[in-house]
Copies of this chain bind each other. A is one copy, B any other.
Amino acid sequence: MSEFAFKARELDSGDELAPKRAEFVLDEVVYLDGNSLGALPVSVPGRVEDVVRRQWGELRIRSWEESGWWTAPERIGDRIAPLVGAEAGQIVVGDSTSVNVFKALVGAVRLAGEGRDEILVDATTFPTDGYIAESAARLTGRTLRPVTPAEVPSALSDRTAAVLLNHVDYRTGRLHDLPGLTSAVHAAGALAVWDLCHSAGALPVGLDEHGVDLAVGCTYKYLNGGPGSPAYLYVRRDLQDRFDSPLPGWNSHAEPFGMRTEYAPAPGALRGRVGTPDILSMLALEAALDVWDGVSIEAVRTKSLALTDFFLECVAEYVPQDRVESLTPAAHEHRGSQVALRCDDAGEVMKRLIDQNVVGDFRHPDILRFGFTPLYVSFTDVERAARVLGEVVAA
């Protein structure tokens, strides 16, 4: 056994989260793509079967009340809340991340008021945020200005209505300074909207603590909700009464079954709902969240950093230096829960890695992306992934 394989075993034996691995369906694959689609929690299939066969098949329409379907968006929002540092009553689940970005950004612009005519958007963001931000700007008559997160402080002005930022860069894995940037945005009198897709479930977010105004995130990455599981919207409690959604569907009405012609928004987080929630996907997510019982997000962060540290060590040991270059910041305070390696033939290398049962993903044009989900990735996985990577690039 190599020195690193031995060290991996030691690290696994000291890992307080190691028992969580048994709560997921895993096999011989080293699965480092949980930042794209989280693995299946063991609790999900049985729950989904019950939802389909009994709740839908037998109770049918009665399940809207009796099986708690109607209140699922806010109930599941409250399950996600502690994972992102939010008190209950501020998150609703539903719709895709893109749709929630639209709600959040138009809502933020309206909260900022008429005098502010510019939206700043993270120029390095996952593309959908930029496209939707452009649409939000066009529909609200604002100007959209793409800037890097580092440029945000100097770009802010009394023209700024809202700033849309990613907590963790989806390509490089860089963790942006949510507390500092949010403060800077507030100092300029603007609203901060954060996209948590690549941070929620992997590290502490502290939405309430840092006074974030609005936030969105998906649930199929580190929250393991399943393919395309519904996203969520956070609206800080003291903004909820003034939150003016551009998608005021009947589910967000104060009296949804009153069937009123006039729209009157519900109080609280419910105002972020739109149409009928997609119950199958939503209740699969609810079951998936059971894996967080008894888990502290601080412990997750500690393990996440240990995993990425160890992966970088193993890569330095196993992979020739001229073949890959890490784009992920070395400093812990700037690192998410993934490692991105630049590699000239990344597409081909990732194919061979997958053939060897090491699954990460390839991001155009030259990035090998490896996500580390602390609830189920072991240090033994990490050592094996780096070792196989070394073999593949040497071949």
Hey, which bits of chain A sit against chain B, CB under 8 A? 25, 27, 29, 31, 33, 36-37, 39-40, 44-45, 48-49, 52-53, 55-58, 60-61, 63-64, 69, 94-99, 102, 106, 123, 126-128, 130-132, 134-135, 139-140, 146, 171, 218, 220, 226-231, 245-251, 253, 257-261, 263, 274-282, 284, 359, 361, 363-364
Contacts of A277 in B (CB 8 A): 96, 228
Bound complex: CA A334 to CA B96 (Å) = 37
Chain B CB within 10 Å — which of A231, A250, A258 has the most? Answer: A250
Bound complex: CA A167 to CA B133 (Å) = 34
The residue in chain B whose Cβ has the minimal distance to the Cβ of A264 is B131
From the candidates B48, B128, B258, B359, name the one contacting A60 in the complex (CB within 8 A): B359
CB distance from A114 to the nearest CB of B (A): 14
Chain B CB within 10 Å — which of A61, A64, A218, A228 has the most? Answer: A228
Contacts of A48 in B (CB 8 A): 48-49, 52, 280
Contacts of A134 in B (CB 8 A): 248, 263
A53-B45, A58-B27, A280-B284 are contacts. A227–B63 as well, Cβ < 8 Å? yes
CB distance from A250 to the nearest CB of B (A): 4
B127–A250 CB distance below 8 A: yes
Q: A39-B57, A134-B263, A229-B280 are in contact. List 17 more A-B contacts (CB 8 A).
A: A33-B61, A36-B61, A37-B64, A40-B52, A40-B60, A49-B49, A96-B274, A96-B276, A97-B275, A99-B247, A99-B275, A102-B247, A131-B253, A139-B139, A139-B140, A278-B278, A280-B284
A97-B275, A253-B127, A280-B48 are contacts. A40–B57 as well, Cβ < 8 Å? yes
Contacts of A52 in B (CB 8 A): 40, 44-45, 48, 226, 284
Contacts of A55 in B (CB 8 A): 227
A218–B61 CB distance below 8 A: no
Provide 21 A-B residue pairs closer than 8 Å at the C-beta atoms, listed in order of the A residue.
Answer: A33-B61, A36-B61, A52-B226, A55-B227, A56-B226, A96-B274, A96-B275, A99-B99, A99-B247, A99-B274, A102-B247, A127-B261, A130-B263, A131-B248, A131-B253, A220-B276, A227-B278, A228-B280, A257-B364, A259-B363, A280-B281
Bound complex: CA A260 to CA B130 (Å) = 10
Chain B CB within 10 Å — which of A36, A45, A251, A359 has the most? Answer: A45
The residue in chain B whose Cβ has the minimal distance to the Cβ of A259 is B127
Contacts of A36 in B (CB 8 A): 61
